[in-house]
Every structure is written in structure tokens, then in C-alpha cells.
Chains A and B, each alone.
Chain A
Amino acid sequence: MNEQISTILKSVSKPGRYSAGEYGQTIKDKSQVKARFAFCFPDSYEIGMSNLGVRILYGALNEQPDIWCERAYMPWVDMEEKMREHHMPLCAHESGDPLKDFDIVGFTLQYEMCYTNVLAMLDLAGIPLRAADRTDDMPIIIGGGPCSYNAEPIADFFDVFSIGEGEDMLVEFTRLMIDMKEKGTYTREAFLHEAARTIGGTYVPSFYEVTYHEDGTVKAYTPKYDDIPVRVTKRIMKDMDKAYFPKQVVVPYIETVQDRIMLEVYRGCIRGCRFCQAGMIYRPVREKTPEVLNEQARCLFEATGYDEISLSSLSISDYTRLEELTDLLLPWTDANMVSLSLPSLRVDSFTKELMDKIATVRTSSLTFAPEAGTQRLRDVINKNVVEEDLLRAVNVAFDAGKNTVKLYFMSGLPTETDEDLAGIAQLAKKVVDAYYQSPTKRRGKPPQVTISVSCFIPKPFTPFQWEAQDTMEELARKQEYLGSQITDRKIRYTHHDARVSRIEAVLARGDRRLSAALELACREGFHFDAWDEYFDYDKWISVIERTGLDPAFYANRRFGLDEVLPWDIIDCGVSKEFFKREHDRAYAGNTTPNCREKCSGCGANKLGGERTCCPSCTK
């Protein structure tokens, strides 16, 4: 295939994105394979190759001898243009076969702004966009990942969503297809019905009819069959030590974003920050043991030759056995000059001992996320971090010879006032001052404190899911006000584009009627909307309004506490009652202890789990 398109490959940027042939990829004999699965990442190769979920699921599917899972990515704009010009269909990486010839095409949905790339990929593959337009000989399109918890805006394009963790579900799903095709009982409808009926975590949107009130809010979801779940409960891997973890991963030739071993230490998060979706949907916390982790890391090191291991989890310092793990890892990683990195550090756990062990020491920069500028607002969002923690953490960093600190904040949080915004500037100033107050004289390099401020986006399955996002005018005013509060030239201030955040809010809390807007967006050539240079706010507003919808209805409206939410069809384990309690506590300015200190009864323990901090389930 490469030879035929070599002229085109020579004319595009980074042709290594498309030429494949990487070490560690899985090649199978087509004649021995009963089902072919194309795992798509709807963004560039460099982003897609960095995703841990894809690495895990690619391996889990390929572990089955009769299933061949391949990869596909969104071609970069220059390649996409050539493909359309020369009618080249989107193909899988390994075999070079067109996606439309596969049995199953899966998309991982990591962020809302990739939806237009999902549609562009279907379009490039020559697969009809709408599930209703696809016939029995076409692939089944399945989605998964964090956005599938409210995938209603793209529900019309997918045959099915995998809700929760896919290691077992995808294998069961593919196997059911093989069985039905072998028995000759396969039709799309019969297969999807059987999957919805018998495989946990299967959500077939077309099997649920949605009705709306006159005011546009959802009235009800009505199942089309009486033997499918009324609400789809997410799947989890109960025992993370026993869950599939790859022994080999594809080692890319070209540099990718996360070009290292990613060791997943545990799933879930004990914290419960009230704006954070990941902290809720991945509950309950389930840890791996240090022994298993050490073995997995060693195995991947030998199989890939990567010289960096990233201990990845939502908040790595909350791992109960971090010390034991680093004690197991460091002897052989040091000997082989492999560096360890901890990407997600909380200020309250950042100690000199920890820093001495990790590779970030070699860079001159450290990043912390206080999220809000005043203690009052940090209590509202349940960040459970105090100013002293931050100042102690930056002092540790400064003492170790670092001079740059990056701080993440959010603006537009519920109950936020200008005082909270001014607090961000004051906090940054205190960090600068801490640099000069340190007993060890730091001369020569002045400190550099960067504050990066994103816009609050209300997300489904969080205590703030009902909140209204600030209007764009208000977000812009707040950004400008914060800028005016910063007087120190050692503080660098960057903020996210409020226009992107607004569209993200529309899609995050959207319902099924938005599918029409997305279809229009696809027809008008939208792509790479997660990339600033290809995002066009006015065009987005135009396609939404031309579909007869109001962006403010989704982004800037306070949803009613008793309203049926588009994502009520999904049960993520955490109960709506818990979210309501947390919502009320937020407005009362009360914090909630983390899961390890005290169980707050979120409900996720009903899902089970080994090495969790949850009280055992009574069920």
C-alpha cells in the first residue's frame, strides 16, 4: 500500500504518521481470524499513540487468537485533503485494509472536541454517518471512554457504546458477534439486542426513545425492548492485579506526546473534587499491588526499550503503597538509567523525599493545581488543599534548585467572585515571595511563576452537573480582571479560550438533538476542533442555531435538580442523591472528607472491587 501512495506520503508533513510498520504492532493471518476490529483514535497519530486505554484494549483484543485488532487515527489536515482529492479511503494501520471492510470499528472518546474528527473519520472511511443508514454488511460502530458517559450528542452516529471499562466487555461483544455470524443468526438488530440483553455495560442508543417537554428538557427515556436494562450500569475490572495489562506495546518511530511506559497504578480517585468528572466516573478506587506493578514495569521495559516510566493515575501520591513501589522499582531503574516520573502530584503530598526519587527533578519546572484562589472557593469545590500546603510544596521545589512553578486554576466556578480571582494573583505573588524568603540563597536566576487559568465547564456525573456556565462575556471579563490584578513581572498569565470552553459545555451536557448539528458540522468540513488553529466559534454557533437549538440552553442554563438529565440513562455507580448532597454542601461551603478518611456513601461500592477503600457492599 505504501508504494502506491509514496508520492502522496512524500508530499505531506510527518509521513511517519501514516507509514506504519512499528515495532511491537500485531500482525495476524487474515485467514485465521474470525473478527476484525479497527480501534480508532479521533485525533492525530502522536496524540492517539500516547493513550494508555488504547494500548490496553489493543492488547486485550489481540490476546484472543481469532480477533485481530488494528489501529486507525485521524489523518492530519494535509493528508486528509490528499485523501479526499484522490478518493483514498481511511485504512487501518497494520493491514492497510479499508475501515469499511472491518467487522467492528471502535472509537475512544476522550474529549468532546474530538467529535467532529469521529465523523470525519467515518466519512473518510466511506461509512454512512448515521447508524440508521448502515446495513448488515457494514461494520458496527462502537464508542467508549469518558465521553460515552454522556454520548447523547453523538448517539445517532453510533450503534452502541461501551460504558465503563472495556477490557472484558469488548472481548465479550466481539465474541458474541463471531458466534452469531457463525450460526447465521447475525443481523445488526438481533446482534445489538442480544448484546444489550446479555453483556453488561452495553448501551444501544437506538433502543431508547427519548421524549422531550415543551421547554426542551428531557421527559423520558423509554426502552424499545422490555428485556434490556432501563439504565445501563458501567462495567469495572474488579481486581486490577488480574485485569489485562499489556506485556508489549507498539513502539512508535516518530515522537509522540507520551513517548514512555505508562504504568497504571490504580483506578479511581479518593478525592471527590466537585468539578471533576474523572474523580467520579472511575470510582471505586482499586489499587494494584507493588509486586504486580513492578513486574509489569520490568516486562514493558524489556519489551520496548523505553527509558522512562510514568506512574500514571489520577492522583499518584494517593497510592497507599507508593513508597513500597518506588523501593521495588528504583534499584533496577537506576541501574538501567530509566527515569521515573509522577505526573499528578497534589501539593499536600509533595515532599522532599518524594521529589528525590523522581525524574521531574531533572527538569527545572514543577506543576501544581490549587484550582481556586481563596480558601473559601477551594472549600466550595472540595479541593481540600490549603495555602500552607502550596507554599510548603513550592519551598521544597525551590530548595531543590528549581525556579519555575506552574499553577493551574479554574475561573467561572460556582459562587466565584472577583475576590476569588484576585486571590489567584495574590497566591501567585506569595509563591514568588517564597522564592526570595528561602534561607538558601538563590542568586542569578529569578523565579518564574506561570498561572494557567481554564474555564469551568459543568460536566455530567459531578456535583456541579446542574450548574450554569458563566456567559462568554462574563468569562472574558473575569479573565481581563484577573490580568489587571497581576502586577509582578515574574508572574506569567495564560488562560484558555472561553469560546472553546463554551462549545465544550454545550457538547458535555448536550442531548440527542445535537446530532443534527454535528452532522451539519461534518458536512461543512469541521475537523481538529481540539486544536485552536482549526476551531471556529462562529461556525459552531451557526451549525447549532441552524439546527434550531440554542447553545445557552445547554451551556448557560442552570439545570433543574429534578429534571431528567440526558445522561440519566447511564448508571456510573455514584448515585444522583450523592451528587445532590455534594451540591448542597458546596453551596454551604462545607468540605467532604476523602474516601480514605471517611466514606460519604457515594454508592460506587455497589460495583465491588478489590484493594479498594470502600466499605463492603451489602448487596
Chain B
Amino acid sequence: MLSELHKMSSSQNGIIDFTTLRIRFRKMGSMQYISHLDLQRTLGRVFIRAGLPLWFTKGFNPHPKLNFAMPLSVGTQSECELLDLRFKVDMDPAEVMERMNRQLTDELRVTEVYVPQTKFSDIAYAAYEYEIHTTGADGALAERISALLHTAPLVMTKRTKSGEKEMDIIPQIRRADVCYDGDGDCIRIAAELSATTDNFLNPELVMSALIQHCGIMQGDPMQENYTIVRRRILTADGENFR
């Protein structure tokens, strides 16, 4: 069954001229270094190769309409990117997934295609996993990091469109579980960060806070590294967003 959102009318007389599907995809590994703009250009070519009948904007420079849930910054990986795509005709979600994946690599791969029942404005949080390899990692460091992420205020400089702004990021952290691996040099953090349009906490900013306040990542860059992976997208009550 198609939802109201799936079939939309762009004209007043009720003629349906496009249908929408939601694409869930992963952007992992070396794809983390590809910017959002470059990803859009890349996907444009994927759609052409896959021969997908996309709906094009009307106007002087027609182009397909790509609606992303939440752009990812360079250096962050994701298992759960969401993209709404408009098609000229009804498409079988399984076929869209199959045709796209034939044109993609493992690091950029569609994991699900479905008819959306929700709006991106319902998204409230995103869940991230941090894996930090730093010298001197132990239980005590994990505790220091945990304390830092749970004690207001944690004032960081946030770059916004209107310039730099000092702000306390603690209210934007819904959850932060920090643990030390037991042995080795790895600290893991599972964090849920605010992800609404006007209140988005970049996971890199949390990492910057740790570097500034906990003295990590100061050693040999060939030995120390961290990864951030966006694992889930959540609604206001903490449920998985679909």
C-alpha cells in the first residue's frame, strides 16, 4: 500500500507526477573522505548507470531531486544514510536496490529501499560509535571521558553559518556510554547526539572535546587513530527512525 507521502501532487489539480522511495545506504571505509557534494555528484552518475527513471525538476536546468536526511561530514562513516528519491513511475523497491547495487562498491552500498511512512523532520537523534585508539588508554581514561561527557557545562566552539559560537554541548548529548576494551589501546563510546535541523551536534565536535580536555591523540599519528560510525537514526522517544 502506498502512503500519502509516497504519491505526491506537485500541481493543484491533483495529477500525480512523481512517486518517492527511501534509500538506506552505507558510506563506510574510504568513502568517509568523500564530501556530501561529491557524494551527490557520484550518486547522479550511479542513477544514470542504473538507468533509473528519476523525476527531474522542471526549469532551465532540470536535475533529479535528492533529499538527504542528514548530510555526513568528512571523516565520519555511516551504516544508515537515508535518501528520498523521486521517480517518474512506480518502481519496485527491490529492483531499485538491485540496480543501484550493481553500480556501487562495498563501501557505498544500498541496504534497504522502501516506501517512506515518515518525514525527515521526525528525526531527533543519531547514534554513533566511536572507536579511539590512543596511547595510555585504560579504565581510568574511560572514566575521565565519561565524566567529561556527563558534566555540564562543556563549552565548545561551534562553527555555524553565522560564524563561530560558544555553546554548552552537554544538553545535546542524550546518552554517552564509555568503556575501555580491557586490554589494548582502545576506548569505545556509544553516543546519541541531537540531530534536528536547528540543533545538530556534529560527532566530530565531541571528539574535539575529548582531544582538548582528556589529552588523547597526542602521540604518533601512525599509531593513534579513531573512527566514528553513525549506526542508527532515532526519533524523539529514542525509537529507530524509518
Contact = CB atoms under 8 A, between A and B. Distances in A.
Q: Which of A15, A253, A302 has the most CB of B within 10 A?
A: A253
B235 interface: no
Contacts of A251: 42, 45
A39 to B, nearest CB: 20
Contacts of B45: 251, 304-307
A20 B34 CA distance: 10
Interface in A1-52: 2-11, 15-16, 18-21, 23
Interface in A224-271: 251, 253-255
B48 A21 contact: no
A196 B201 CA distance: 63
Contact of B41 (A8, A10, A11, A255): A255
A303 interface: yes
A306 to B, nearest CB: 7
A254 B29 contact: no
B138 interface: no
A337 B221 contact: no
A484 interface: no
A3 B42 CA distance: 23
Given A6-B227, A336-B48, A23 B105 contact: yes
Among the interface residues B33, B75, B221, B227, which one has the most CB atoms of the partner chain A within 10 A?
B33
Contacts of B35: 16, 254
Contacts of B226: 6-7
A253 B225 contact: no
Interface residues of A, number: 33
Interface residues of B, number: 33
B42 A253 contact: yes
Overall SS of chain B's interface:
mixed
B91 interface: no
A297 to B, nearest CB: 14
A86 B105 CA distance: 30
Contacts of B75: 10, 15
Contacts of A305: 44-49, 103
A334 to B, nearest CB: 13
Contacts of B33: 9, 15-16, 18-19
A202 to B, nearest CB: 37
B224 A7 contact: yes
Interface string A135-171: 0000000000000000000000000000000000000
Interface string B19-48: 000000000011111110011011011111
A335 to B, nearest CB: 12
A21 B29 CA distance: 9
Given A6-B225, A6-B227, A21-B105, A307 B30 contact: no
Nearest to A86: B222
Nearest to A85: B221
Contacts of A337: 56, 62
A20 B47 contact: no
Contact of B34 (A8, A82, A253, A307): A253
A23 B103 contact: yes
Nearest to B61: A362
Interface in A69-90: 82, 86, 88
A253 B156 CA distance: 32
Contacts of A3: 225, 227
A340 to B, nearest CB: 16
B38 A302 contact: no
A266 B82 CA distance: 45
A257 to B, nearest CB: 14
B30 A20 contact: yes
Interface of B: 29-35, 38-39, 41-42, 44-49, 56, 62, 74-75, 103-105, 107, 217, 220-222, 224-227
28 contacts: A2-B30, A3-B227, A7-B217, A7-B225, A8-B221, A10-B74, A10-B75, A11-B221, A15-B75, A16-B34, A16-B35, A18-B33, A19-B33, A21-B31, A23-B42, A23-B104, A86-B220, A86-B222, A251-B42, A251-B45, A253-B39, A253-B42, A254-B38, A302-B49, A305-B47, A307-B44, A336-B48, A337-B56
